[in-house]
Amino acid sequence: MADNRNNLERYWKHGAGALRIRWGTPGDFTRCQRQLRDHVGADRADRICAQWHYDMNGFWPGDRRNR
C-alpha cells in the first residue's frame, strides 16, 4: 500500500499529473482538488492537495503569500 501511495504522490507532484496541475502557478491548488476529487473524494482531496501545495510551493493554500 505504501508503495502505491508513493507512486501516486510522485505522479501528481513530479510526473505527468504535475504537468496537469502546474504547481507554482495561480490556481494550482484548485486544479489539484479537481483532479484528485474523483479518485479519493472531496474531503481527502482537500487535505492531500493542501499538503502537496505546501510541499511544492513552501506555503499553505490561502496564505497571504499565495496572492
Instruction: Give domain status of residue 63, yes or no.
Output: no
Is 9 part of a structural domain of the chain? no
Are 61 and 55 a contacting pair, CB within 8 Å?
no
Could you tell me the pTM of the whole model? 0.86
Q: Supply 26's cell numbers.
A: 495561480
Question: Residue 50's domain spans which residues?
Answer: 22-58
Mean pLDDT value of segment 31-53: 96
In a domain, 13, yes or no: no
Q: Evaluate whether residue 32 is within a structural domain.
A: yes
Structural domain includes residue 11: no
- Within a domain: residue 33? yes
For residues 30-55, average pLDDT: 96
Q: Is residue 41 in a domain?
A: yes
Q: Using DSSP, state whether 12 is helix, strand or coil.
A: helix
Total tally of structural domains belonging to the chain:
1
Q: Is residue 4 part of a domain?
A: no
